[in-house]
Amino acid sequence: MSGHGFHVHGPHDHELEHAAQHGNKDSFAGMIAVATAILATIGALFSYMGGLTQANAGLFKNDAAIKKTEASNQWNYYQAKSSKQNLAELAQALVAEDKKHLYKDEVERYKKEKAEIKTAAEKLEAESTEWDKRSEAQLHLHHRWAQATTALQISIALAAIALLTRRKWLEYGVFGVAGVGVVLGIMAMLHK
C-alpha cells in the first residue's frame, strides 16, 4: 500500500480478507479435522487398554509359572514321602515280628501325609491352569484392542489423504474404517 491511497492486494491477502468478512465455510476440512481429533482420542484410549491387557497377560502368565513351580515342589515332596513309605514297607517286611507294628504305623503316617501333599499339589496345578486361562483371555483382548487401534490409525491416515485430495469417497473410507475400529473396540470391551 502506498501513501497516496492506492492499495494492491496479493492473493493471500484477498483470501484472508474474504475469510475474515465471510467466515471460513470449508465444512469438509472442518469435519475431517474434528473427526481426526476424535479418532485420535479414541485411538489413544484403545492403545492404553491394549497395553494394559498385554501387561496383565504377562503378569498372569508369571503367576501361572509360579503356581506350576509350587506344584512341582509339592510333587517332589510327595515323591520323597513315597520313597520313605517304600523304605518303611521294606523294613516292615524284613524286621522281626515284634517290631513290624512300628513300621506299620510309619507306613500309615506316610500314606496320610502323601494324601495331603497330593491334594495341595493338585490345588496348585488347578491354580496354575486358571492363571494360564486368565493370561490367554487377556492376550486375546490385547489383540482385539490392537486391531481396533490399528483400524483407527488407518482411518486417521485416510483422513489426511482425504483432506489433501478433497475426495468425498475417501471421507466415506475414513468413517468406514473408523467404524470397524470402534466395533473392534466395543468387542474388546465386551470381552469378545
* 27 or 21, higher pLDDT: 27
Least confident of 10-14, 81-85, 95-99: 10-14
Q: Residue 35 corresponds to which cell in the numbers above?
A: 473427526
* 28 or 49, higher pLDDT: 49
> For residue 20, is pLDDT > 60?
no
Burial level of 59, CB count in 10 A (0-12/13-18/19+)?
middle
Residue listed under C-alpha cell 475431517: 32
Task: Give every CB contact of residue 117 below 8 A, 6+ residues apart in sequence.
Answer: 74, 77, 78, 81
Cα distance between residue 52 and residue 49, in whole Å: 5
Question: What is the biggest distance separating any 2 CA atoms in the chain, rounded to whole angstroms?
Answer: 135
Residue listed under C-alpha cell 523294613: 91
pLDDT digits (tens, 9 = 90+) for 100-111: 888 999 999 999
What's the mean pLDDT in 126-146? Answer: 96
pLDDT digits (tens, 9 = 90+) for 62-86: 999 999 999 999 999 999 999 999 9
